[in-house]
Amino acid sequence: MKKFILIFGPQGSGKSTQAKLLAEHLGYAHVSSGGMLRDMKDKNVPLSEELSKYWLKGELVPDELIQRIIFQTFETSKDEGFVMEGFPRNLLQLNAFLDFVHAHDWMIVRAYYVMVSEEECLNRIRKRIEIEHREDEDEDSLKKRLYDYYSKTVPVIEEFEKMSLLTRVDGEDTVENISSEIKSDYDTN
Ligand code: AMP
């Protein structure tokens, strides 16, 4: 039975770092929907040109397309456990994912919300824009993505809370402290 752990947090919350650390700790695969899109573009996969029209501007890619990519990854992977970030990003994707997991008799074990204030996220990403020059990050796309995050992804996180699967962690603590908090929560749950 495949197991899924989901990591949520706004842009700049450090969710990706935390997802990688937890995946390493558990020996699970780390899956990042945004990372997959960037890899597809680097490898010039045929569909990637159409997809990059959206994400390069900071817009969400169509649900159907991202779902197809993500679900295919899980179906073909030999891994038994996944720590995923970036998906599901809205309620439609959440419902599709819940149906998908149930249809396979797989299991969502836990969801973590790495909480960072909007102001701190803006500061962190502005610094990242100066240093990394990630091609989909500029002031305009940042604002769009944060707006989408609060209007579309926070309702998804609230659903995990209702399912009693959610743990919130303070994303403004150190990387090490956040990571140990997540690991010990996971180990005791
Ligand atoms: P991220 O690295 O998670 O910030 O994702 C980078 C970009 O990829 C986002 O701004 C979106 O355009 C796109 N993306 C990633 N995951 C999804 C998703 N689940 N649904 C729609 N678009 C996504």
Cα separation, 125 vs 129, whole angstroms? 6
**What are the tens digits of pLDDT across the range 17-45?**
999 999 999 999 999 999 999 999 999 99
Task: Taking residues 112-118, report their average pLDDT.
Answer: 96
**Could you identify the residue written with the tokens 């450090």?**
14
Best substitution site from 89, 128, 146, 149 to test ligand 1's pocket, by max atoms within 8 Å of Cβ? 89
At 189, the amino acid letter reads N
Ligand 1 atom having least distance to the Cα of 62: 21
According to DSSP, residue 31 is labeled E
pLDDT > 80? residue 135: no
The number of the ligand 1 atom at minimal distance from the alpha carbon of 141 is: 10
What is the spatial distance between Cα 1 and Cα 108, in angstroms, rounded to a whole number?
10
Q: How many residues in total does the chain contain? A: 189
Q: At what angle do helices 63-76 and 91-104 cross, to 10 degrees?
A: 30
| pLDDT (tens digit per residue) in 64-110 | 999 999 999 999 999 999 999 999 999 999 999 999 999 999 999 99
Instruction: Output the pLDDT for position 24.
Output: 97
| pLDDT exceeds cutoff 90 at 142 | no
